[in-house]
Structure formats: C-alpha cells, structure tokens
Chain A
Amino acid sequence: MTNAAAPTSEPAGDPAAWVDEHGDHLLRFALVRVRLRSVAEDLVQETFLAALKARANFRGGSSVRTWLTGILKFKIIDHFRVRHRETPFSQFDFGGDDGEAGFDETRHWKASAAPQEWEPDRASSSDRAGFLRAYLECSGKLPPQMARVFTLRELDGMPTEEVCKIAGLTPTNLFTIMHRARLALRRCLEESWFTRHDARN
C-alpha cells in the first residue's frame, strides 16, 4: 500500500490525464453558469491551460478536481466581469415581468399567476438530473445580464456587495434584478418541474 497512490512525483498528478479525469465535470460546472456550450468549452480550455502553468503552486491540500474547479470559478467571474463592462446598466434588459404582471388591479394575485402547491418529491428534489435540466431550460430564457447576476448570487452564493462590483450595479438595482429573476424562474420551474407529476419516463 505504500506507493500505490503515487503515480508521479508531482502533487497535481499527470497534467495529460486531467482532461479525461476532470474535463466533463468542469464543462458541466461551467454550462450551468454560462448557459452557452461554446462559452463553457472556452472556459474549460482556459482553465486547463492556466492550471498547467500554475501547477507548481498546487500543494495537495485539496483534490486536483477542487483545485481545477476553483480556477474555473475565477475564469467564469472574469468572463462575467468583461460582459458586464461591455453592456452598461442603462442597457440592462429587465425582461418581461416588472413585478406587477401577476397581480390584478386590486393588487392581489391573478388566478393564472398564483403560486401552485409544489409536488413534495419535486420540491425536495432528490432527482438532481431532472431539476438541473429544468433549471438550464428556464435560466436560458432569462436575459443574459440577469442570468449572470442570478448565477453569482444564487449558485455561487457571492455576497451582494461583490456581485454589485462585478456587475457595476447599485444595491437597489441588484435587488430589483434578483426579484425579477426569481419571479421568472419560479414561474417557469413551477410549470416545467415542480407541479409535474412523474413527467419523465
């Protein structure tokens, strides 16, 4: 058992094997966040090339996969930062629902928009594949800027102030964007996932 787990002297292992061992994981991680396959592939490639250069810094405190994923996270944030710089906030596309669309003139829920009771097994969502596919479908319908802000905040749990810095937003704008993103996602996911009973076979 002494030397079984030490195929190379480098702590990060053999870089030639990274692509096969971790490539699909990184692609999926990126795709859920950037939504476009071509962009996700570019980011994966950049991640491996950056990791190759920096592999001397890997000290083996974590797994290679965790280390690579950390690099990818930075690449995704950089990508978002550039995209947000290209599109000033004045051009921000808020999407269809301004937060009032689901309510009638007395400011109560319209019957057609009122939240439905979710299927308990769907809300607890042990079916990760089903939930993630539905999420990809629904987040794909959000305006791109809104989706990026939502991703940083909800998938990566980044603090509000940091998201504001990256996206060049005031906190008030951020709250508005998050509210609209949640309204739209909740509605889409409710239809396509949370109220479906055994929709997939």
Chain B
Amino acid sequence: MQDTDPPKKLPQGWMISCPEATRLSSERLDRRLGGWELARHRFHLLICVMCRRYARQMGSLRKLLHHHGDRTDGLPEVVLSEEFKKKLRDRMRD
C-alpha cells in the first residue's frame, strides 16, 4: 500500500488528510471548489488510491441515482391495494 502513504518532503499546505479529501470529494458535487482547494484535492487523489476510489464512487452513486430515481419500473412489487384505489376513485367522483 505504498501509494497511500503521503510523500515525506513537500511544501507545507499541499498535503491534505484523507478525511479532508473525502469531504472535498463530496463538496465538489455541491459547489465549485476554489482553485487552491481543487489543486490540493487533485494532488491528494494522485497519491492516495483509497481516496481516488472514494471520489470515483461518489460520481457513480450520483449517476446511478439520477438514472434510476425516476424509473419506477424498478420497484414492481410496490403497488396500491385494490381497496385504496377503490376509495380514491370514489373520492374523485364526488
């Protein structure tokens, strides 16, 4: 797991921690990151295989939810009961 260990000699400020990188992997889906934040985030992902995987999975999760969230044929077992439908039809006739 060598590539998950941050290199020892780097200018101060370039290194962010894994919790910080995961936070940015989420926030970049909700806001535009600043230049410096973005650079540090990218740099961390270059050297950390776990955070890279995490960031990729965040993207997949968003895509999957966008893709499937509206497609209600995915839950065929969820149906209104006949009783509920009858009551509703009756109410709509009034």
Q: Does B62 contact A (CB under 8 A)?
A: yes
Shortest C-beta distance, B16 to chain A (Å), equals 9
Beta-carbon nearest neighbor of B69 in chain A:
A155
Contacts of A114 on B, CB cut-off 8 Å? 50
Task: Say yes or no: A19 contacts B85, CB within 8 Å.
Answer: yes
* A41 and B84 within 8 A (CB): yes
> What per-residue 1/0 map shows which CB atoms of A101-144 lie under 8 Å from chain B?
01100011100001101100001010011011101100000000
- Interface residue count on the B side (C-beta < 8 Å): 43
Instruction: Chain B residues near A175: list those with CB within 8 A.
Output: 26-27, 30-31
Q: Please tell me the number of chain A residues within 8 Å of chain B, measured between CB atoms.
A: 58
Beta-carbon contact of B58 and A31 below 8 Å:
no
B92 touches A24 (CB 8 A): no
Contacts of A52 in B (CB 8 A): 92
B80 touches A44 (CB 8 A): yes
A193: nearest chain-B partner, CB-CB: B64
The answer to the question of A86 belonging to the interface, with a C-beta cut-off of 8 Å to chain B, is: no
6 contacts between A and B (CB under 8 A): A48-B92, A49-B92, A103-B18, A118-B57, A132-B75, A179-B23
